[in-house]
Structure 1
Amino acid sequence: MSVAEQKKTRIIILGGGFAGLHAAIHLDDTLARDPDVEITLVNRDNFFLFTPMLHEVAASDLDLTNIVNPVRKLLKRISFFAGEVESINLERKLVTVSHGFDHHHHELPYDHLVIGLGSITNFFNLPGLEQRALTMKSLGDAIHLRNRLIAHLEEADTECSAALRRPLLTFVVAGGGFAGVETIAGINDFIREAVHFYINLREDMLRVVLVHPGNVILPELGEKLGRYTEKKLAERGVEILLNTCVIGLTDSGVQLSTGEQIESKALIWTAGTSPNPVLDSLPCVKERGRLKVDEMLRLPDWPGVWALGDCALVPDHKTGQFHPPTAQHALREGKTLAKNLIANVRGGTLKPFSFSTIGQLAAIGRRTGVANIFGINFSGFIAWWMWRTIYLSKLPRFEKKLRVALDWTLDLLFTKDLVQFQTFRAPTISHADEGESNSSLSTSGVTAEGALESVS
């Protein structure tokens, strides 16, 4: 390492979600211009996933590539490292990252570390869930779910036994928050439209069930909008089981806290998340696995270490509580952290993070939505239009905005696509008389991790 490189201030950002990426974008236009500063963003995927639209990929409303943005097209001056964060050594100021096909390790030294590693799905050690349940956290999850829905319809269409067909046509979503409601609304619309293309199936054979532990779904929006959502989903054929928990999943079905069992081959789990397990070994103050930071987004007792997003507990001086782990908070935390990092490097004054929720929205299917904006409730078409308008405006890059808008326009004119993407290597075919071999590769369903796997 040269003397010039040793003098550089090294900043590493871990995580390319809403929080980490927006911190990087702001630094890319400011501090990254300084030749004495070296900034690196580390993320497992080489893209930013716009998660609010994830359920629309699963429901075949949007093309899978239209809700992701290549990180390298978003950042001009910041270096990008595609890899998995394996460990963080705060004492030595080193981050270990695995990378490449052979998962070899790199050690990245830093002067400032920004931790924005997000969250993972939490199955709460319930039997059978981790092995059998579907999830909705990544692009691969959405592709896998869409393929499973189609696979179930395909198998059920040729299944002679009603007893075997029933669990194939029963779909259960656990969790009545935003992710669960938007997921079940989307897949319900999808399969009820798709079933008409299967000559041996009827819509009345479908069963779609939402299981929620509380007494109203979408509790964040209040009881009125929650009841409205329940009514609309019920009108569209969704069964809603309130005050009920999923307690297990077996080959025969979904086990409920009421003692009942739903015969189903598809459980979509959206009922819990937990912080990235990489944080478990860090010798710093945590609560329920999340890093406690001060109002400046700094980690106490560890100078030069910052945290934000889902993995951080950010104090709200207005309420005395903590800011919720939402996308609108995360992107603003990213901007505030970037400004404070600049101030720290250049000797300026740091400012506390402060933000009040503007509102929350949910799309509940068939051009219907619910929203609470500045304390005012909206429902129906106007809320659905607000959902699309607001989130489209937040999607990075004009190209992606245009592609999504075109997808939505085409969705108004045509039925949903039923192509089942599969990713596999076909067996090599030997041509003995020609002395050559041939193989084919289908890559339509590459997962979020970029690995080739069967997602049917």
Structure 2
Amino acid sequence: MDIVTRPRILVVGAGFAGVGCVRRLERRLAPDEASVTLVTPYSYQLYLPLLPQVASGVLTPQSIALSLRRSRKYRTRIIPGGAIGVDLKAKVCVIRTITDEIVNEQYDYIVLAPGSVTRTFDIPGLVDNAFGMKTLAEAAYIRDHVISQLDLADASHDPGERTSRLQFVVVGGGYAGTETAACLQRLTHSAVKRYPRLDPRLIRWHLIDIAPKLMPELGEKLGRSAQEVLRRRGIEVSLGVSIKQAGPHEVTFTDGRVVPTRTLIWTAGVVASPLIATLGAETVRGRLAVTAEMNLPGNDGVFAVGDAAAVPDQAKGEEGAICPPTAQHAMRQGKRVADNVIATLRNQPMQPYVHKDLGLVVDLGGRDAVSKPLGVELHGLPAQAVARGYHWGALRTNVAKTRVMTNWLLNAVAGDDFVRTGFQARRPAKLKDSEYTDSYLTPEQVRAHVEGAGPAQG
């Protein structure tokens, strides 16, 4: 079949769902059956659950950046950029490349897996002064920043400056925030031994969340166990509290406390990618409303998965239940949606997505962890073995598995190192610098751009 007449499948996003979909398509489609194109700024899949361990230096960044070009059946065309709008009627995706060129990409079938962005609120100074934790660049920058605070505090003769540099605030009591606070506290606890001029008691970590419980999905017992581990380490956990104002040298909590700090890490949840709003379609809490087969009602050949899609959770059997935005669901949705795209292509019936949650794992660093595999509550070393075993098994390539296992073993034997790379020393990496949420078009702008651009590419 001529390449021009082959059906064009466009996958947006290289997260767990997008990569799972592409890999399945490559394995199950004949080369002449369809062309596959992937839109992503980076030619790797980021294993996001292990990002806190990159920030703390337990793992190297390359360990959790899984190359998309290592597959033996790799034949996907990658467009290096991000989708900023989709015209469902014209079947055109508007893409901004990494060189800021705007291109139109035509498709016959589209799988929307753009993931999510950090959820922020209208808090004075937040986006200007807080760090995020969703990208490799942010994790690497935070590591450099935290170690630099110890260096600067050690060199300072000003008690006020020293106090602010040795206090750290993490907002968000979910998995990302809890693991980030736990892993980075462990880093500073180990590092301060190399700074004889610093009093370890001056280093204080704060973990705050507006919710009344820490990681409520774990249940009462395990949530309390995790909280006790953090408090035993000296992390001050404050629940029912959020940020009222964020400045460059201090943070004001909603309970009135003012904490002098140069480090505010914001992990208070995520929202669906702004790309979803460009479609003008029905949403559920900001996520695209799709059927159990993950297709968009009334739009042939349009599918959505992962954090950006409100996929019905049929395993729960509850009216209106949707799958949580977790890697566990995204990986499996990606494979199922690929099967449904192929089924549509071959005029076969689609299958609904059904998956019962396998449980939760939280790695708190060192020998500390809490896990709930298949409903069984674990803590300590057994939980740590389950947590790391799950993550290791979920890594897509043997190269990544080897790197991660080697890093874990090296860290266990040799301990932490406290090297600042300095790669981003002169470049800011706050929330406003890391997520380009103002780059997306409105539905009207998408339509005007597509109509005014003439024939699209593809």
Q: TM-score, normalised by structure 2?
A: 0.90
Question: Is 1:136 paired with 2:133?
Answer: yes
Measure how far apart 1:34 and its partner are: 3.6
Give the corresponding residue for 1:441.
none
Q: CA deviation at 1:209?
A: 0.7
The alignment partner of 2:102 has SS state of: strand
CA distance in 2, matches of 1:286, 1:214: 25
- Kindly provide the amino acid, as one letter, of the partner of residue 276 in structure 1: S
Please state how far the C-alpha of 1:11 moved relative to its aligned partner.
0.4
Distance of 1:316 and 1:415 partners within structure 2 = 42
Of 33-42 and 152-161, the range deviating more from structure 2 = 33-42
Give the alignment of 1:39-50 within 5 angstroms.
39-50=36-47
CA distance in 2, matches of 1:138, 1:219: 25
For residues 191-206 of structure 1, the aligned pairs below 5 Å read: 191-206=188-203
1:424 shift after superposition: 6.3
Contact 1:7 1:36 (8 Å CA) reproduced: no
1:97 is the counterpart of 2:95: yes
- Answering whether residue 398 of structure 2 is matched by residue 401 of structure 1, we say no
Distance (whole Å) between structure 2 residues aligned to residue 120 and residue 215 of structure 1 = 24
Give the match's secondary structure for 1:385: helix
Cα distance in 2 for partners of 1:37, 1:284 equals 27
Distance in 2, matches of 1:356 and 1:140, equals 33
1:390 aligns with 2:387: no
Shift of 1:316: 2.0
Aligned counterparts, 1:100-179, within 5 A: 100-101=98-99, 103-179=100-176
CA distance in 1, matches of 2:419, 2:349: 55
Structure 1 residue ranges without an equivalent (≥5)? 427-446, 450-456
Q: Gaps spanning 5+ residues in structure 2: where? A: 427-432, 436-458
The Cα shift of 1:287 comes to 2.1
- Counterpart of 2:348 in structure 1 is 348
**1:59 corresponds to 2:56:** yes
Structure 1 residues 410 and 108 mapped into 2: Cα distance closer, same or farther (>3 Å)? Answer: same
Contact 1:28–1:76 under 8 Å retained in 2: yes
Determine if contact 2:15/2:115 at 8 Å carries over to the other structure: yes
Q: Distance in 1 between matches of 2:114 and 2:256?
A: 37
Of 27, 30, 34, 1:29 maps to 27
2:88 equivalent to 1:69: no
Letter in 2 for 1:358: L
Q: CA deviation at 1:366?
A: 2.3
Q: Which position in structure 1 is the counterpart of 2:10?
A: 12
Give the partner amino acid of 2:67: P
User: How far apart are 1:215 and its partner, in Å?
Assistant: 2.2
Contact 1:45 1:448 (8 Å CA) reproduced: no
What are the equivalent positions in structure 2 for 1:349-364 lying under 5 Å apart? 349-364=349-364
Q: Does 1:236 align with 2:224?
A: no
- Counterparts of 2:93 and 2:376 in 1: how far apart (Å)? 45
Cα distance in 1, alignment partners of residues 9 and 272 from structure 2: 22
* Partner residue, 2:440: none
Corresponding residue for 2:443?
none
1:448 Cα deviation after fit: 9.3
Q: Do the aligned partners of 1:86 and 1:98 also contact (CA within 8 Å) in 2?
A: yes
Q: CA RMSD in A?
A: 1.7
Q: Is the 8 A contact 2:132 2:265 kept in 1?
A: yes
Query: Residue deviations 1:198-232, cap 9 Å, x none?
Result: 12112111011111212221111011111111111
CA contact (8 A) 1:217 1:226 kept: yes
Work out whether residues 252 and 263 of structure 1, in 8 Å CA contact, stay in contact via their aligned partners in 2.
Answer: yes
Pick from 35, 38, 47: which aligns with 2:35?
Answer: 38
When residues 424 and 134 of structure 1 are mapped into structure 2, their CA distance, relative to the original with a 3 A threshold, is closer
Superposed displacement of residue 5, structure 1: 3.5
1:273 is displaced (CA, Å) by 1.3
Instruction: Report the Cα offset of residue 13 of structure 1.
Output: 0.1
Is 2:141–2:424's contact at 8 Å kept on the other side of the alignment? no
Q: CA deviation at 1:380?
A: 0.8
Residue pair 2:3, 2:32 contacting (<8 A) in 1 also: no
Measured against aligned partners, the alpha-carbon deviations of 1:3-51 in whole angstroms (never above 9, x if no partner) come to: 93342100000000001110111111012x2403111111111110001
Which residue pairs with 1:339 in the alignment? 339
Deviation at 1:115, TM superposition (A): 0.2
1:143-184 C-alpha deviation (Å, 9 max, x unpaired): 011011011011000011111110100001001110011000
Alpha-carbon distance change, 448 to 72 in structure 1, aligned in 2, over 3 angstroms? farther
Change (3 A) 1:21 1:448: farther
Name the counterpart of 1:310: 307
Alpha-carbon shift at residue 257 of structure 1 (Å): 1.1
Counterpart-to-counterpart distance in 2, 1:402 and 1:448: 30
Q: Aligned pair 1:369/2:366, yes or no?
A: no
C-alpha contact (below 8 Å) 2:56/2:183 kept by paired residues: yes
Alpha-carbon offset, residue 350 of structure 1: 0.8
Look up the equivalent residue of 2:365 and give its one-letter code: G
What is the CA distance between 1:100 and its match in structure 2? 4.3
Is the 1:294–1:300 contact (alpha carbons within 8 Å) kept by the matching residues of 2? yes
Aligned residue in 1 for 2:275: 278
Q: Which whole-Å CA distance do the structure 1 matches of 2:69 and 2:107 have between them?
A: 21
CA distance in 1 between partners of 2:395 and 2:337 (Å): 21
Displacement of 1:362 = 0.1
In the alignment, the residues of structure 1 paired with residue 299 and residue 423 of structure 2 have an alpha-carbon distance, to the nearest angstrom, of 45
Q: Is the 8 A contact 2:41 2:98 kept in 1?
A: no
Matched residues in 2 for 1:20 and 1:247: separation? 36
Alignment-derived partner of residue 85 in structure 1: 83
Aligned to 2:379: 379
Q: 1:271 to 1:65 in 2, by over 3 A?
A: same
Q: Is the 8 A contact 1:344 1:350 kept in 2?
A: yes
- Once residues 216 and 178 of structure 1 are traced to their aligned partners in structure 2, the CA distance between those partners, rounded to angstroms, is 12
Greater than 6 Å deviation, 4+ residue runs? none
Q: Secondary structure in 1 aligned to 2:70? A: helix
Distance (whole Å) between structure 1 residues aligned to residue 331 and residue 55 of structure 2? 25
Asked whether the 8 Å contact 1:196–1:202 carries over to 2, the reply is: no
